[in-house]
């Protein structure tokens, strides 16, 4: 079968036409004014989108008006998940809370099953104080509080802070006129243990920093066996200035420190003057130098054996016991 030859003249005409079109586009691009890369790109957003952005404010425009630029890490640390719900678990802690501060309890959850004398007492306390209670299955209790709850979990209102002046006024009337100041203590278990000891000894209250301290929520409340809901707790912005303020109002201020200038708390001539303020520092770094400088005196516990140190809750509890002993002597 005879094959037709390709039309070379047609291919040549198409090639010439494409070359002419390319040359025309190049000429137009050369006539077009050069684009300034430093200029702002054209805003092709819809009018309503531009209006929303203008309502928020352009950063450069606000800077010209004197608005403060947004710096790094301006957001506060996120609160722990479920931080708005505080729980106290265990038969004895719940019973003590119902006896001393029933107004702080919203509801008591009790595991279904056999009701013994301690559970009956908790139910009676709820009924006497008009507090709601309900019997729930074990899975429901586990969702509220993981761990050893002994079949009882109380939901309590969020911690209410006391202003410093009120704390000072009430503190003078406490069986042990001693205020504990926590300087960047991070562990909620340590905070709870210190509060539990202070409350048992009749202490005046606790001062915590607004920033850089442990979050006082359900974990700390549980570790304190509910003591944090019964002790006055004040939150302050500047710990060093607060210590200076307490000293001006007649409170002797101490800090726990292992430095050479620190007084041996066991020495016969060491007098623990009350009313007093005891500053306890961070688990790793201790009391900050600026805060320690604001204190009247520093104390340390001597070790009979070679040992690194006690943790803040152990050392703080030991020192609090010595202050309580001094208060007993003063009252005797």
Helix (H, G, I), strand (E, B) or coil at 224: coil
Is residue 79 in some structural domain?
no
Residue at a domain's end among 156, 172, 207: 156
CA distances from 254 to 41, 128, 138, 221, 293 (A): 63, 43, 47, 26, 10
CA distances from 172 to 166, 175, 278 (A): 10, 8, 15
Q: What is the pairing mode between strands 205-209 and 252-256?
A: unpaired
User: 218 with 237, same domain?
Assistant: yes
Q: What is the C-alpha separation between 134 and 114, in angstroms, rounded?
A: 14
Q: What Rg, from alpha-carbon coordinates, does the chain have? A: 35
User: 249 with 277, same domain?
Assistant: yes
User: 228 with 248, same domain?
Assistant: yes
Is residue 2 in some structural domain?
no
Instruction: Give the tokens for residue 192.
Output: 């709870």
User: What is the chain's percent helix, strand, coil content, to nearest 5?
Assistant: 40, 15, 40
Give the pLDDT of residue 187.
Answer: 95
- Total number of domains in the chain: 2
Residue at a domain's end among 137, 156, 175: 156
Name beta bridge partners: 178. Answer: 276
Residue at a domain's end among 110, 137, 156: 156
Burial grade of 140 (CB within 10 A; 0-12, 13-18, 19 or more): middle
User: 125 with 190, same domain?
Assistant: no
The residue behind tokens 């203008």 is 54
Instruction: Give the tokens for residue 251.
Output: 């409170």
Distance between first and last Cα of the chain: 132
Give the pLDDT of residue 64.
Answer: 35
User: 175 with 267, same domain?
Assistant: yes
Is residue 319 in some structural domain?
yes
Give the pLDDT of residue 218.
Answer: 75
Is residue 41 in some structural domain?
no
Is residue 11 in some structural domain?
no
Q: What is the C-alpha separation between 14 and 218, in angstroms, rounded?
A: 82
User: 192 with 244, same domain?
Assistant: yes
User: 216 with 306, same domain?
Assistant: yes
Structural domain boundaries enclosing 92 = 86-156
What pTM does this model have?
0.63
Give the pLDDT of residue 222.
Answer: 80
CATH number at residue 240: 3.40.1280.10
Is residue 74 in some structural domain?
no
Name beta bridge partners: 282. Answer: 286
Give the pLDDT of residue 7.
Answer: 53
Query: Which residues lie below 8 Å from residue 10, measured CB to CB, with a gap of 6+?
Result: none
230: left (phi over 0), alpha (psi -120 to 50) or beta: alpha
CATH number at residue 91: 3.30.1330.30
User: 237 with 183, same domain?
Assistant: yes
- Residue 125: half-sphere exposure toward Cβ, Cα within 13 Å: 22
Sign for the CA dihedral angle at 289, 247, 282, 234 comes to negative
User: 116 with 171, same domain?
Assistant: no
Give the pLDDT of residue 254.
Answer: 98
Is residue 219 in some structural domain?
yes
Give the pLDDT of residue 50.
Answer: 37
Q: What is the C-alpha separation between 219 and 200, in angstroms, rounded?
A: 19
User: 152 with 169, same domain?
Assistant: no
What stretches of the chain show up as alpha helix (H) in DSSP? 8-31, 47-56, 59-64, 91-100, 117-129, 138-144, 164-171, 188-200, 218-223, 239-248, 289-294, 312-331
Give the pLDDT of residue 301.
Answer: 94
* pLDDT in single tens digits along all 332 residues of the chain: 455 555 555 555 555 555 555 555 555 545 554 444 444 444 444 444 433 323 333 333 333 333 333 333 323 334 444 434 688 889 998 998 899 888 788 899 999 988 899 999 999 999 999 999 999 999 999 988 888 899 999 988 777 889 999 999 999 999 999 999 999 999 999 999 999 999 999 999 999 998 889 988 778 888 898 899 889 999 999 999 999 999 999 999 999 998 888 999 999 999 999 999 999 999 999 999 999 999 999 999 999 988 877 899 999 999 999 999 999 988 87
User: 137 with 260, same domain?
Assistant: no
Is residue 29 in some structural domain?
no
**DSSP tag of 184:** S
């Amino acid at each position: 079968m005879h094959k037709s030859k390709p039309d070379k003249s047609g291919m040549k005409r198409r090639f010439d036409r494409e070359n002419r079109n390319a040359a025309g586009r190049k000429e137009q691009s050369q006539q077009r004014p050069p684009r300034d890369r430093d200029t702002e790109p054209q805003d092709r957003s819809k009018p309503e989108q531009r209006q929303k952005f203008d309502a928020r404010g352009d950063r450069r425009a606000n800077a010209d008006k004197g608005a403060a630029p947004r710096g790094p890490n301006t957001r506060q640390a996120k609160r722990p998940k479920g931080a708005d719900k505080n729980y106290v678990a265990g038969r004895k802690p719940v019973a003590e809370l119902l006896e001393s501060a029933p107004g702080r309890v919203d509801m008591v959850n009790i595991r279904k099953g056999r009701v013994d004398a301690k559970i009956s007492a908790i139910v009676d306390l709820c009924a006497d104080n008009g507090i709601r209670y309900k019997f729930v299955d074990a899975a429901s209790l586990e969702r509220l509080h993981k761990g050893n709850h002994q079949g009882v979990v109380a939901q309590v209102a969020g911690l209410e802070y006391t202003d410093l002046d009120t704390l000072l006024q009430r503190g003078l009337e406490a069986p042990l006129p001693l205020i504990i100041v926590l300087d960047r203590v991070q562990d909620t278990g340590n905070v709870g243990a210190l509060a539990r000891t202070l409350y048992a000894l009749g202490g005046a209250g606790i001062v915590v920093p607004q920033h850089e301290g442990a979050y006082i929520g359900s974990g700390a409340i549980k570790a304190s066996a509910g003591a944090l809901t019964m002790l006055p707790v004040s939150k302050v912005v500047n710990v060093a200035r607060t210590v200076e303020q307490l000293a001006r109002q007649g409170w002797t201020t101490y800090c726990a420190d292992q430095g050479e200038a620190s007084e041996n708390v066991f020495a016969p001539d060491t007098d623990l003057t009350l009313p007093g303020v005891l500053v306890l520092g961070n688990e790793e770094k201790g009391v900050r130098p600026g805060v320690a400088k604001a204190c009247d005196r520093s104390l340390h516990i001597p070790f009979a054996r070679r040992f690194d140190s006690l943790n803040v809750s152990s050392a703080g509890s030991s020192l609090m016991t010595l202050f309580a002993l001094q208060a007993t002597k003063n009252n005797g």
